Copies of this chain bind each other. A is one copy, B any other.
Amino acid sequence: MPPLPFEPKDPAYAERVRASFGRQAAMDTIGASLQAVEPGRVVIELPYAPHITQQHGFVHGGIVAAALDSACGYAASTLMPAEAGVLTIEFKVNLMAPAQGQRFRMVGEVVKPGRTISVTEAKAYAVDDAGREKLVASMHATMMVIIGRDDVRH
């Protein structure tokens, strides 16, 4: 993946994002981990596990959405000032194939950063035992930049 054309405002963006992700208990519960943090892009990995499945044994679409939401939110966060928080206003998910695989790679990217609103997107790829990737879901999300609220920082 080529670098995105974005300049971070906060030189410590990567540490800030990693620390915040570490406080998302929900990500720990589903087994998701942060693999990469760049200006405007974040990669999250989610291994297949029986405790996150739906009734057919695929990973639950809502769990895929949870990881994609974190990927979008933190992609937006990499471009924000140090004191800003981010809240998801809305997202849409298209589930294109059952979430079957050994693990899943979620790549979140900023499409359009903004002072108040950032538009982001993410794709989820299922990875099989041989390392082959298949697109299984996409997200398109609107993030709101929050400044000056102590309960919504980072």
Contacts and interface: CB of A to CB of B under 8 A. Distances in A.
A66 interface: yes
Given A96-B111, A111-B135, A51 B26 contact: yes
A71 to B, nearest CB: 10
Main secondary structure, interface of A, reads mixed
A67 interface: yes
This protein's copies in its complex: 4
Interface string A80-105: 00000101111111111110000000
A35 interface: no
20 contacts: A23-B55, A25-B50, A25-B52, A26-B51, A26-B62, A29-B51, A54-B70, A62-B66, A87-B95, A87-B98, A90-B90, A90-B93, A90-B94, A90-B95, A94-B111, A96-B111, A96-B114, A97-B112, A112-B135, A138-B140
